[in-house]
Structure 1
């Protein structure tokens, strides 16, 4: 039931024939034409912000700044805590090694 079904590729029936006409044909029958005119795009209307949408945009931007700041501060705090713990481990190991030398 869960057996994969692999498609079978049939073998070619004859040998492939090599291409004989590889030289490009001269383009003498083609007449130059003028480029098509570019379509006229209507000018876009300017975005109009109402006081409510401007307030919502400012609040959204402020929320993004607060979230990004929180993430960056938490990452900095994690790095600082890791550094302090590594420093404490180094001091403990150093004291253990110095005690071994005294005995």
Structure 2
């Protein structure tokens, strides 16, 4: 039940190594030429001033909302801690008064 189950080995063909063809190079050219970069199929995003302003405003709103939530949570923890401390003091005083009456 707890033994790992591995997928069966897939016999893939061995990668083929392509040897570059050696062509006589001109005597003056010693720098290899890189192949051209493939064209990207992704659409490009063009930001206009209006869309940039909308992005900045949206980011600012997100920062304000997240900051408000975090500060509210911090205040809730602080208030809870103070109230637990007050309850502990009151209980300690009540227990102390009970022991005096005996």
TM-score normalized by structure 2? 0.57
Which runs of 5 or more residues in structure 2 are unaligned? 1-12, 18-36
Q: CA deviation at 1:71?
A: 0.8
Indicate the RMSD between aligned Cα atoms, in angstroms: 2.7
Gap change, CA 1:32 and 1:86, over 3 Å in 2: closer
Q: CA deviation at 1:34?
A: 4.0
Residue in 2 that maps onto 1:69: 67
Which runs of 5 or more residues in structure 1 are unaligned? 1-30
Distance of 1:81 and 1:75 partners within structure 2 = 10
Gap change, CA 1:51 and 1:97, over 3 Å in 2: same
TM-score normalized by structure 1? 0.57
How many aligned positions are there? 70
- Alignment equivalent of 1:42, drawn from 34, 39, 43: 39
